[in-house]
C-alpha cells in the first residue's frame, strides 16, 4: 500500500504538480513510516472545503503536512507562521500554497484568506485551529468564520504520532454555535496522540 495517493482527493482539488514532487512526498512519508488514511468524498468535487489540522505541537507537524500535500498532489491554501517562509524555504512553501502570516499583526488575516478563496470554484484552505505549537486553553475561531463565510464544511485532518497516521476525517458541518462546534471537534481529536502530548 502506498503511503499516500492523489486518488484520496477529488480531481478538482489536485494541483497537477510534477510527478517527481509527488514521488518525493510519498517517499518522505514512507521513509518516516507514515501513511495518509481516509479520503475526501467525490461529492465535494468542484466545491470549497476548510481543512483543519491537529494536534499541532511540533515542527514535525509541518514537515509531515507538506509531505502529505505533495503526495496527495493537493491544491491547498494554508496559513503559516511568517518566520517559516524565510530564504529558499519560503519560495517552496508559497509554491505549495502557503501564505505567511505575522501573528503579531493579525489585522485582516481571515478576511484576506476569505477574499483569496472566494473567487476559486474548487479549493481547500488549511489551518491549525490551535494557531500555535504551544499549549493553548482555547482554539482560534477563524476556521469557523471562514467556513461560515464560504458556506462550506470542514474536514478534520489529524496527526497521530502513536500510529504514524494522518487521517482525513469525515466532513463536519458547523452548527453556527462556535463553542459547541469547538467542543465537538476537540472531543473528536482527543483520541489522537500529539508529538508532544503535554502541549496539547
Domain boundaries, the chain: 34-199
pLDDT band at 140 (very low <50, low <70, confident <90, very high): confident
Q: How confident is the model at residue 105 (pLDDT cuts 50, 70, 90)?
A: low
Inter-residue long-range contacts of 130-137, CB under 8 Å, 24+ positions, other chains counted: 130/54, 130/55, 130/56, 131/103, 132/56, 132/103, 133/56, 133/57, 133/58, 133/59, 133/61, 133/199, 134/199, 135/57, 135/198, 135/199, 135/200
The mean of the pLDDT values for the chain is 87
Burial of 154 (0-12, 13-18, 19+ CB in 10 A): buried
- Strand 98-101 relative to strand 76-81, pairing: parallel
CA angle 5, 17, 58 (to 5 degrees): 65
Torsion sign, CA atoms 3, 94, 17, 112: positive
- For residues 64 and 34, give the distance between their C-alpha atoms in angstroms, rounded to a whole number: 8
pLDDT of residue 130: 79
Average pLDDT of span 87-108: 70
Residues 97-120, mean pLDDT to the nearest whole number? 68
**Which grid cell is 44?**
465535494
Q: Does the domain formed by 34-199 have CATH 3.40.1130.10? A: yes
The answer, yes or no, to whether residue 113 has pLDDT greater than 60, is yes
Which residues are within 8 A (CB) of 129 and not within 5 positions of it... i.e. 6 or more apart? 52, 54, 139, 140, 143, 182, 185
Average pLDDT of the segment spanning 109-126: 74
Amino acid at each position: 500500500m502506498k503511503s499516500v495517493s492523489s486518488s484520496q482527493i477529488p480531481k478538482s482539488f489536485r494541483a497537477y504538480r510534477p510527478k517527481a514532487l509527488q514521488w518525493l512526498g510519498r517517499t518522505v512519508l514512507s521513509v518516516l513510516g507514515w501513511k495518509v488514511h481516509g479520503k475526501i468524498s467525490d461529492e465535494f468535487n468542484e466545491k470549497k472545503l476548510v481543512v483543519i489540522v491537529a494536534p499541532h505541537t511540533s515542527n514535525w507537524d509541518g514537515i509531515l503536512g507538506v509531505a502529505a500535500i505533495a503526495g496527495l498532489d493537493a491544491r491547498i491554501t494554508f496559513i503559516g507562521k511568517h518566520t517559516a517562509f524565510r530564504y529558499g524555504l519560503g519560495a517552496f512553501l508559497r509554491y505549495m500554497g502557503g501564505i505567511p502570516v505575522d501573528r503579531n499583526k493579525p489585522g485582516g488575516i481571515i478576511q484576506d484568506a476569505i477574499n483569496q478563496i472566494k473567487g476559486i470554484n474548487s479549493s481547500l484552505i488549511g489551518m491549525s485551529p490551535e494557531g500555535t505549537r504551544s499549549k493553548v486553553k482555547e482554539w482560534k475561531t477563524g476556521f469557523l468564520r471562514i467556513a461560515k463565510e464560504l458556506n462550506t464544511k470542514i474536514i478534520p485532518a489529524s496527526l497521530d504520532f502513536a500510529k504514524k497516521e494522518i487521517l482525513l476525517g469525515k466532513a463536519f458541518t458547523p452548527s453556527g454555535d462556535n463553542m459547541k462546534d469547538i467542543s465537538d471537534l476537540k472531543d473528536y481529536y482527543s483520541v489522537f496522540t500529539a508529538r508532544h502530548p503535554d502541549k496539547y
